[in-house]
Amino acid sequence: MSSASDSPSNAHEFTVSELSFAVKRAVEENFGYVRVRGELGRVTRAGSGHIYLDLKDDKAVLNGVIWKGVASRLKIQPEQGLEVVCTGKLTTFPGQSRYQIVIDQMEPAGVGALMALLEERKKKLAAEGLFEEAYKKPLPYLPQVVGVVTSPSGAVIRDILHRLDDRFPRHVLLWPVLVQGDKAAEQIAEGIKGFNALDGSGKVPRPDVLIVARGGGSIEDLWAFNEEIVVRAAFESDIPLISAVGHETDTTLIDFSSDRRAPTPTAAAEMAVPVRSELLSNVRDFDARLTRAVSRSLQDHQRHVESLSRGLPRLEDILALPAQRLDAASERLSGSLRLFMQQRSAQLADAGRVSLRPIETRIRHYEERVKDHGQRMQRAGERLIERRGERLINLSKLLTSYSYTGVLERGFALVMNADGGVVRAAASLHAGEDVRLRFHDGDKTAVVADGDTQKPAQKTPKARRKTAKKTSKTEDEKQGNLF
């Protein structure tokens, strides 16, 4: 009799993979869309950009995954301890026999969760020193350019422009951004960094002060101004920055990292520039006060000088004795000058009578000396010309004896090439080259022929020889043909 274990069974046998994928299909078909509320536990960001997390309550833990494309579009970034509501679908991971939720959306579970996240983030950034007063920069008293980071279509930019125009018109640059939504924080941070990147050398000037503004709204609407990327951009701004987000009762983290916080965008415009009329009034008041102060100072100095002058003697008394001395000295000087002139005139007359000869005698004496010197110079010049002429004749004769023209007269000829250079050797000439022959009575042109003496001369016709006999010899035949 066989045992029960050996009896055949009608149950279907599954492989591990078949069973795992069957469970996966069953879970996905029944839980294709779910909303789950819980507290975030472990949060891990992989190098691929995906986020892996645990969603838990007091009794169970659910694994979750957020793919890279969805993670970049989340309204809030998952952080441990944050209570959230996740929307997605359930699925299984057969490789580890566990199920998980693939998250498509994540929202905070009420205002309380957002406030807890805000408080935790505030403590973290404060610990890093981003809210320290020591790092806050003073605002310029009268900026030339005001940069505004806000939405171009809202009422905020119109309120800021209107208030600036009323108080002190300034040049305004607008960096248009989204102030609410998934990409708002990134655009706001880029606007702050973009204004700081301007160097002022191009067509767009660099702002002297920045205003980051938005109208009122709920904590969810203002959440972009609580993101770390915006808070850090405001802290790192080299340009003084005024935050004007929401109404007076609204508070965001950018208010703590900015250099000044304004309760409203309109108040931010009032902080950025002074009132022009008040400034003019203050300038006029300062001018009047300065004028009065200078007048009082001059009056005080005048009274002081007058009081000092009372202790001084009169000018007439001080100058009376020197004036008398001057008059006495002038009288003595006048008499002394007259006596001096008389003495010098008498000395001059005596000297003229004793030593000076009449002027006509001196003129005749110098005329004779000039005439004598002229005659001597004429004779010396004639002798010099005669000596130089004789020397020139001797040099001319010597030059003639050295000249090649005398050699040409003895029957020789000078051979020159086409450039006019003297030919000194036959080897420097080539057959067919033109040369010029210079005789004592003129020049002739010739062509160089082959210099081979072994080549027999061509016979000339008899008729020509007869004619040549009858013809008288020319000067060239008498001289001889060189070529």
Let me know if residue 22 belongs to a domain: yes
Give me the DSSP letters along 244-272: EESSTT---THHHHSSEE-SSHHHHHHHH
**CA 246, CA 12: separation in Å to the nearest integer?**
66
388 found inside a domain: yes
Asked if residues 254 and 225 have their Cβ atoms less than 8 Å apart, the reply is: yes
Residues 62 and 143 in one domain: no
Q: Above 60 in pLDDT, residue 228?
A: yes
Q: Give the residue among 433, 462, 461, 428 at the shortest CA–CA distance from 445.
A: 433
Q: Which domain holds residue 57?
A: 16-109
The answer to whether 443 touches 437, Cβ cutoff 8 Å, is yes
Residue 340's pLDDT is what?
A: 87
Please tell me the number of Cα atoms within 13 Å of 305 on its side-chain side.
6
Last residue of a domain, one of 402, 436, 468: 402
Specify the CATH number for the domain of residue 159: 3.40.50.261
Same domain, yes or no, for 259 and 298?
no
AA identity, residue 220: E
Other C-beta atoms closer than 10 Å to the C-beta of 51 total 21
The pLDDT value given to residue 120: 84
Domain shared by 372 and 450, yes or no: no
Distances (CA, A) of 114 to 9, 87, 187, 381: 58, 18, 22, 127
pLDDT band at 456 (very low <50, low <70, confident <90, very high): very low
The 3-state DSSP class for residue 50 equals: coil
Q: Is position 234 within any domain?
A: yes
What is the count of structural domains for the chain?
5
Per-residue pLDDT averaged across 145-165, rounded?
A: 93
Choosing from 334, 368, 402, the residue where a domain stops is 402
Tallying the residues shown for the chain, one arrives at 483
Are residues 288 and 229 both part of a single domain?
A: no
Same domain, 296 and 377: no
Q: How far apart are CA 144 and CA 273, in angstroms?
A: 9
pLDDT of residue 242: 96
Alpha carbon of residue 212 to chain centroid = 31
pLDDT of 192 > 90? The answer is yes
Q: Angle at CA 443, nearest 5°, toward 442 and 449? A: 145
Cβ atoms of 80 and 117 closer than 8 Å: no
Average pLDDT value over all residues in the chain:
83
Among 274, 294, 329, residue at a domain's last position: 274
Q: Based on the domain organization, do 238 and 155 belong to the same domain?
A: yes
Does residue 211 lie in a domain region? Answer: yes
Q: Quick: pLDDT tens for 298-310.
A: 999 988 888 887 7
pLDDT at 313: 76
Same domain assignment for residues 80 and 203? no
Q: Decide if pLDDT at 154 tops 60.
A: yes
DSSP letters, 106-163, are: EEESSHHHHHHHHHHHHHHHHHTTTT-GGGPPPPPSS-SEEEEEE-SSSHHHHHHHHH
* Residue 129 maps to a domain: no
> 378 versus 24: which is more confidently predicted?
378
The answer to whether residue 2 scores a pLDDT higher than 60 is: no
pLDDT at 461 over 60: no
Summarised one tens digit per residue, pLDDT across range 213-227 is: 998 887 778 889 999
Pair 44, 164 in one domain = no
Q: Is residue 210 part of a domain?
A: yes
The CA distance from 34 to 118, in Å, is: 27
Assess whether 98 and 88 both reside in one domain: yes
Q: Which pLDDT band, with edges at 50, 70 and 90, does 440 fall under?
A: confident
| Same-domain pairing of 189 and 257 | yes
Domain membership of residue 190 (yes or no) is yes
Q: Which two tokens stand for residue 454?
A: 């072994």
Give the residue among 27, 31, 10 at the shortest CA–CA distance from 19.
Answer: 27
Evaluate whether 241 touches 232 at the Cβ level (below 8 Å): no
Residues 47 and 83 in one domain: yes
Same domain, 33 and 101: yes
Q: pLDDT for 56-88, tens place per residue?
A: 887 888 889 999 888 888 877 888 878 888 899
d(CA 418, CA 116): 112
- Per-residue confidence at 324, pLDDT binned at 50, 70, 90? confident
Q: Which of 52-61, 316-325, 472-481 has the lowest mean pLDDT?
A: 472-481
Q: What pLDDT is recorded for position 261?
A: 94
**pLDDT bucket at 188, cuts 50 / 70 / 90:** very high
Q: What is the pLDDT of residue 361?
A: 77
Instruction: Judge whether residue 359 has pLDDT over 50.
Output: yes
Task: Give domain status of residue 66, yes or no.
Answer: yes
